[in-house]
A and B are shown apart, each in its own frame.
Chain A
Amino acid sequence: AQTVTQSQPEMSVQEAETVTLSCTYDTSESDYYLFWYKQPPSRQMILVIRQEAYKQQNATENRFSVNFQKAAKSFSLKISDSQLGDAAMYFCAYRSPREGTYKYIFGTGTRLKVLA
């Protein structure tokens, strides 16, 4: 069974600095999808970025980028130029495209605090 591990329950970063959130996963599949979701306090969870395992190029969305290391089964999220609005819980998620799965596996989350 697949598992997703976020080993950092909480992280802090100074405004305008860069922070990296870690995520590792375990799977025997070769094709899958990885996601980072952001859940601001008392607000809806939103998708930050996605990565297809068959793509070697790391995904980037504005100030958010990932470091996808398929062999190491690592999928970290880098937030550059951190802003106060980045403060949230961040969840890493795994999705298999295999017929019959249809579910996401989420990590336990990392709470990011942004210090002014």
Chain B
Amino acid sequence: KAGVTQTPRYLIKTRGQQVTLSCSPISGHRSVSWYQQTPGQGLQFLFEYFSETQRNKGNFPGRFSGRQFSNSRSEMNVSTLELGDSALYLCASSSGAWGVYEQYFGPGTRLTVT
């Protein structure tokens, strides 16, 4: 079974621009979570999607948004990029079944904002 894939793997953007990151979960997984990882803050939860619905959202400004498609693939968008948005963005998928909470992570997208 293929693992979680994320595209692109690396991205360099300029402050003020917007960016879209993509995540394809493991086949059959319906839940996708997004995290921002930085050396200073560790893993910060962004949001979680299940069956195209956002079920929870972390404490990030509205510039961070996401969506999930009917095939469970998910995208994350950051508008009006700031230097502080430079981070590794991780996507994780899980089956979404009750009591099955293991998350499987993708390799991440390294975003650098200049």
Chain A residues proximal to chain B, CB less than 8 Å: 33, 35, 37, 43-47, 50, 91, 95, 97, 100-109
Given contacts A46-B105, A103-B48, contact A91 B43 (CB under 8 A): yes
- Quote the shortest CB–CB distance from B43 to chain A (angstroms): 4
The contact sample of 18 A-B pairs, CB cut-off 8 A, is A33-B101, A35-B101, A44-B3, A44-B106, A44-B108, A45-B105, A47-B103, A91-B43, A95-B101, A97-B101, A101-B56, A102-B31, A102-B48, A103-B45, A104-B101, A106-B42, A108-B42, A109-B43
* Total residues of chain B contacting the partner, CB 8 A: 24
Chain B contacts with A in 27-65, Cβ cutoff 8 A: 31, 33, 35, 42-43, 45, 48, 50, 55-56, 58
Q: A97-B98, A97-B101, A108-B42 are in contact. List 14 more A-B contacts (CB 8 A).
A: A35-B101, A35-B103, A37-B105, A47-B104, A97-B99, A100-B56, A102-B48, A103-B33, A103-B45, A103-B56, A104-B45, A106-B35, A106-B42, A109-B43
Contacts of B101 in A (CB 8 A): 33, 35, 50, 95, 97, 104
By Cβ-Cβ distance, the 6 closest A-B pairs, closest first, are A45-B105, A106-B43, A108-B42, A102-B56, A102-B55, A95-B101
A66 to B70, CA, bound (A): 38
A102 close to B50 (CB less than 8 A): yes
Chain B residue contacts of A107, Cβ below 8 A: 42
